[in-house]
Amino acid sequence: MTSTTRNLALTLSTAALLALSLTACSPSTASDAPTSTASSSAAADDGTCAGVTVVVDTGDLDISDDPSDTVCVDTDKTILGTDAVTEAGFTTVGTTTYPDDVICRVNGVPAEETELTGDDGAAYHETCADMPPAAAYWGLWVKPADGEWDYAQTGLSALELNPGDSVELLFTVNGAPASPTS
- Answer whether residue 34 shows pLDDT above 70: no
- The CA distance from 95 to 126, in Å, is 10
What average pLDDT does this structure show over 59-66?
90
- The CA distance from 132 to 173, in Å, is 11
141: left (phi over 0), alpha (psi -120 to 50) or beta: beta
- Answer whether residue 23 shows pLDDT above 90: no
- The CA distance from 132 to 135, in Å, is 8
Alpha helices in the chain (DSSP H): 3-22, 81-87
Kindly report the average pLDDT of the chain as a whole number: 81
- Answer whether residue 159 shows pLDDT above 70: yes
- Answer whether residue 38 shows pLDDT above 80: no
Which 8-state DSSP code applies to residue 176? B
pLDDT of residue 2: 43
Q: Classify domain 3-173 by CATH architecture.
A: Beta Complex (2.170)
What are the residue boundaries of the structural domains of the chain, listed by start? 3-173
Using alpha carbons, list the distances in angstroms from residue 175 to 2, 136, 141.
24, 8, 15
- pTM for the predicted model, two decimal places: 0.77
Nearest Cα to Cα of residue 68 among 41, 90, 38, 51: 90
pLDDT of residue 27: 37
pLDDT of residue 53: 97
Cα torsion through 182, 20, 26, 143, rounded to 10: -10
